[in-house]
């Protein structure tokens, strides 16, 4: 076979193979294009179906959008009933906005405005609690006024006057709650004196009548205001707040006690050593510098529990138990004071709880007598008995 024939034969075979490969490749390209189109169509249909399912699920479980009235009511309930702060109310509403159907949670300033508006409405409603004029009756319609200088507003302080029924304990089984008390007056001043407080109380008396009695703490400014009202001929019997009176009874003997200041200072040093450590849960509770004796019993309860965790004996060096024992400072040397203060404060607190929930009467005063007998400090017990007898005489009047 000649060379030309061989070349033509090889060329024909190559053409045949190339034609076969071309046909196969064209078929594969068509199939791939068809499969790709089907895949894209199926993917698009799946996405549309999933979107429809999510929409149906959302419609089935969706919460109706809350109206503004419902949001305001919920915010006021969190502030008044749950006793959350303004910022805390906003954080709670922000977290629960989606499940509750709230489009936008209010800011703290908005919540403050809502509370102020509610306060104005309640103040207007409280003006309806008017008794007989002073010239026609010695007292108003059986209301007791609670008078106190409360938290500051900017650079000023708030004088608040609340009122509740004098016969509350004859009608209710517990202590007065928020819905039993009406705010009848609020005033703000940079500083309060007896004369300035008497002027505010005098305006309230001229509007609502004289109260059956006034409940106040033992502050000198309030006592001066009461004296000014007595001189003006519009005074009323005054009852001392039991918590402030009991705190004053504890303060007089313990303020000069040599170990008391040492104990309070030791609690402060222990707090500094334990905070920001693994033992921060054992830090003492905070106690305000002002009116310290009203809350110092919390320190004694804390110290007694912590000292029970440190019995005599050695502790492994470097252990948490050794660190706790090393941070207790002078507390072990104050055990006698802690035990004595707990005995006095525990009896006074039990009497306060009984008197505040059941009312001041001869029966409750008699039930306080066994508790007073258990107090280690006899002078505090005698002063408390005298105070109860004096307050009972005023309450009976």
pLDDT at res. 111: 92
The CATH number assigned to the domain holding 223 equals 3.30.420.10
38 within some domain: no
Nearest to 243 by CA among 353, 344, 319, 110: 353
32 within some domain: no
Token pair 């003997």: residue:
253
Report the distance separating Cα 354 and Cα 350, nearest Å. 6
373 within some domain: yes
Stated as kind and residue range, the H or E segment containing 214 is: strand 213-216
61 within some domain: no
For residue 222, the tally of other CB atoms under 10 A from its CB is 24
Token pair 């004289």: residue:
210
| Domain stop point among 183, 207, 240 | 240
The Cα diameter of the chain in Å comes to: 149
The answer on 308 and 174 residing in a single domain is no
Q: What percent of the chain has pLDDT over 90?
A: 8
Helices 378-396 and 335-358 pack at an angle, to 10 degrees, of 10
Q: Are 194 and 179 in contact (CB under 8 A)?
A: no
The DSSP letter of residue 147 is E
The answer on 356 and 279 residing in a single domain is yes
The answer on 257 and 227 residing in a single domain is no
The answer on 294 and 228 residing in a single domain is no
The answer on 225 and 206 residing in a single domain is yes
The answer on 391 and 267 residing in a single domain is yes
Q: Are 375 and 350 in contact (CB under 8 A)?
A: no
pLDDT at res. 134: 39
Report the distance separating Cα 182 and Cα 123, nearest Å. 8
1 within some domain: no
Cα separations in angstroms, 92 against 61, 115, 117: 21, 17, 21
Report the distance separating Cα 177 and Cα 181, nearest Å. 7
Mean pLDDT, the chain, as a whole number? 81
Indicate whether 129 pLDDT > 60: no
Please provide the size of the chain in residues.
397
pLDDT band of 342, cuts 50, 70, 90: confident
129 within some domain: no
| Domain stop point among 183, 214, 240 | 240
Domain residues for 281? 246-396
The answer on 232 and 276 residing in a single domain is no
Reported pTM:
0.61
The answer on 287 and 349 residing in a single domain is yes
Report the distance separating Cα 367 and Cα 383, nearest Å. 17
Give the neighbor-by-neighbor strand order of the sheet with 156-165: 182-189, 156-165, 143-153, 213-216, 238-240
75 within some domain: yes
Report the distance separating Cα 103 and Cα 68, nearest Å. 10
Report the distance separating Cα 82 and Cα 106, nearest Å. 17
Per-residue model confidence as pLDDT tens digits over 214-224:
888 877 788 88
Which region, left, alpha or beta, applies to residue 233 given φ > 0 means left and ψ of -120 to 50 means alpha?
left
213 within some domain: yes
pLDDT at res. 256: 79
The answer on 307 and 265 residing in a single domain is yes
The answer on 267 and 291 residing in a single domain is yes
Bridge partner list, 143: 165
pLDDT at res. 153: 61
Report the distance separating Cα 350 and Cα 149, nearest Å. 26
Per-residue model confidence as pLDDT tens digits over 137-179:
444 557 888 888 876 666 778 888 888 888 787 778 778 888 8
Report the distance separating Cα 319 and Cα 226, nearest Å. 59
CB half-sphere exposure, 189, CA atoms < 13 A: 14
The answer on 352 and 303 residing in a single domain is yes
pLDDT band of 41, cuts 50, 70, 90: very high
The answer on 228 and 197 residing in a single domain is yes
What mean pLDDT is predicted for residues 290-297? 69
Per-residue model confidence as pLDDT tens digits over 190-240:
888 888 888 888 888 887 778 888 888 877 788 888 888 888 888 888 888
pLDDT at res. 128: 58
| Domain stop point among 181, 214, 240 | 240
Q: How many separate domains does the chain show?
A: 3
What mean pLDDT is predicted for residues 6-35? 84
Parallel, antiparallel or unpaired: strands 143-153 and 156-165: antiparallel
pLDDT band of 43, cuts 50, 70, 90: very high
Q: Are 106 and 93 in contact (CB under 8 A)?
A: yes
Helices 260-274 and 296-308 pack at an angle, to 10 degrees, of 70
């Amino acid at each position: 076979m000649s060379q030309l024939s061989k070349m033509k034969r090889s060329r024909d075979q190559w053409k045949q193979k190339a034609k076969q490969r071309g046909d196969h490749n064209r078929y594969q390209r068509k199939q791939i294009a068809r499969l790709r189109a089907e895949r894209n169509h199926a993917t698009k249909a799946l996405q549309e179906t999933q979107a429809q399912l999510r929409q149906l699920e959302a419609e089935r479980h969706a919460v109706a959008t809350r109206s503004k009235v419902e949001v305001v009511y919920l915010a006021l309930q969190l502030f008044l009933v749950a006793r959350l702060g303004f910022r805390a109310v906003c954080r709670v509403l922000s977290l629960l906005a989606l499940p509750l159907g709230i489009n936008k949670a209010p800011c703290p300033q908005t919540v403050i405005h809502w509370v102020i508006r509610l306060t104005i409405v309640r103040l207007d409603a409280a003006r309806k609690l008017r008794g007989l004029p002073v010239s026609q009756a010695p007292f108003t319609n059986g209301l007791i006024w609670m008078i106190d200088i409360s938290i500051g507003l900017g650079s000023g302080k708030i004088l608040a006057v609340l009122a509740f029924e004098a016969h509350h304990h004859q009608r209710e089984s517990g202590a007065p709650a928020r819905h039993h008390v009406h705010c009848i007056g609020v005033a703000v001043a940079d500083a309060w004196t007896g004369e300035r407080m008497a002027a505010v109380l005098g305006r309230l008396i001229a509007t609502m009548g004289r109260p059956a009695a006034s409940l106040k703490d033992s502050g000198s400014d309030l006592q001066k205001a009461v004296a000014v009202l007595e001189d003006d001929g519009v005074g009323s019997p005054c009852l001392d707040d039991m918590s402030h009176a009991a705190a004053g009874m504890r303060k007089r003997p313990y303020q000069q006690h040599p170990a008391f200041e040492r104990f309070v200072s030791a609690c402060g040093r222990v707090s500094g050593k334990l905070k920001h450590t693994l033992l921060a849960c054992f830090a003492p509770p905070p106690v305000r510098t002002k009116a310290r004796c009203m809350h110092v019993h919390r320190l004694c309860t804390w110290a007694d529990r912590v000292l029970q965790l440190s019995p005599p004996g050695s502790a492994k060096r470097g252990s948490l138990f050794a660190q706790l024992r090393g941070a207790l400072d002078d507390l072990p040397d104050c055990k006698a004071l802690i035990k004595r203060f707990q005995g006095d404060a525990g009896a006074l607190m039990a009497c306060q709880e009984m008197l505040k929930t059941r009312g001041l009467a001869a029966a409750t005063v008699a039930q306080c007598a066994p508790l007073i007998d258990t107090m280690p400090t006899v002078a505090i017990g005698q002063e408390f008995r005298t105070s109860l007898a004096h307050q009972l005489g005023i309450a009976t009047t």
